[in-house]
Amino acid sequence: MSFKDILNSGKFVVTAEVGPPKGTDIKEMIHHMEILKGKVDAVNVTDNQSAVMRICSMAVSKIAMEHGLEPIFQMTCRDRNRIGLQSDLLGASILGIKNLLCMTGDHVSAGDHKGAKPVYDVESVQLLKIVDGLNNGKDMSGNEMKGSTDFFQGAVVTPEANPIEPQLIKFEKKIRAGAKFFQTQAIYDIEKFKDFMKHARKFPVKILAGFVVLKSVGMANFLNNNVPGIRVPQVLIDELKAAGKEKALDTGMNITVRHIKQLKEEKICDGVHIMAIGMEDKVPEIMERSGLL
């Protein structure tokens, strides 16, 4: 069953992430893929995440397929103009890549090639429209193509954004542009997420809540201070503090497991997206403890 069919079947879906490495040594990456194989419904392949140059997401998406995983090919607008984006989309299509996550992309100033020219010829909403066109056999200029794509395209939303209104307006624009599913930025406040879901449920799209496991008090503070759109509430930081350094990671895992269970039991959203960030080997354990395996 494809990711699209699984999502539409009503199953509580789990996606994880594979970050392509910098350089051609992919042993560790393959190891992570093997860990996730047969457990997650699909795996996101990031596109030069944080604007740090790495292997392109198309090649790694293809390798993920060869290792029995269903990739969600992430595509940012930072590095390619409309010609490059469309050409890569056609390339991904003939390689059999079906799922797509369209995003604007972190600015080059966040990454390791700060002098690069940021492209942003189009942005996430317009990219979604381009994909819709390609799916219907037409390129962005309206030219008829010989053979069309068959993408299942999604996008990103930040439920914790402050202010939230402009974010919600853009969320609706993405839906109108053809987004079928959304994966959210990491969430830590379930009550606030429920408010967002009340709004999101007005639309016929699937929502996967994003999770990043807290490893320590320091990491929680780092996320609050440095990662926009993420807000770790004080009550969780206190919980980590009370656990002490030794048990911080375990407590972080417990928090994630508790939240996933609540989302699933209360049928708040359609699934979860676990961003392990260097803890890929913990994903099966998180799933097991959350009752997802």
- Asked if 262 is part of the footprint of another protein (rule: CB under 8 A), the reply reads no
- Asked if 142 is part of the footprint of another protein (rule: CB under 8 A), the reply reads no
- Shorter beta-carbon distance to another protein: residue 66 or 165: 165
Q: Which of residues 208-237 bind another protein (CB under 8 A)?
A: 228-229
- Shorter beta-carbon distance to another protein: residue 13 or 130: 130
- Shorter beta-carbon distance to another protein: residue 2 or 109: 109
Distance CA 41, CA 2 (A): 8
Q: How many chain residues bind another protein (CB under 8 A)?
A: 36
- Shorter beta-carbon distance to another protein: residue 73 or 182: 182
- Asked if 189 is part of the footprint of another protein (rule: CB under 8 A), the reply reads no
- Asked if 89 is part of the footprint of another protein (rule: CB under 8 A), the reply reads no
- Shorter beta-carbon distance to another protein: residue 6 or 140: 140
Q: Which of 125, 200, 255, 257 binds another protein (CB under 8 A)?
A: 125
- Asked if 241 is part of the footprint of another protein (rule: CB under 8 A), the reply reads no
- Asked if 140 is part of the footprint of another protein (rule: CB under 8 A), the reply reads yes
Beta bridge partners of 74: 101
- Asked if 156 is part of the footprint of another protein (rule: CB under 8 A), the reply reads yes
Q: Which of 173, 194, 241, 289 binds another protein (CB under 8 A)?
A: 173
How many Cβ atoms are within 10 Å of 5's Cβ, its own excluded?
Answer: 10
3-state secondary structure 91-157: HHHHCCCCEEEEECCCCHHHCCCCCCCCCCCCCHHHHHHHHHHHHCCECCCCCECCCCCCCEEEEEE
Q: Which of 185, 251, 256, 290 binds another protein (CB under 8 A)?
A: 185
Distance CA 168, CA 33 (A): 34
Q: Which of residues 12-71 bind another protein (CB under 8 A)?
A: none
Distance CA 228, CA 135 (A): 33
Site residues for another protein per CB under 8 A: 78, 82, 103-104, 106-107, 109-110, 118, 120-126, 129, 140, 156-158, 161-163, 165-167, 169-170, 172-173, 176-177, 185, 228-229
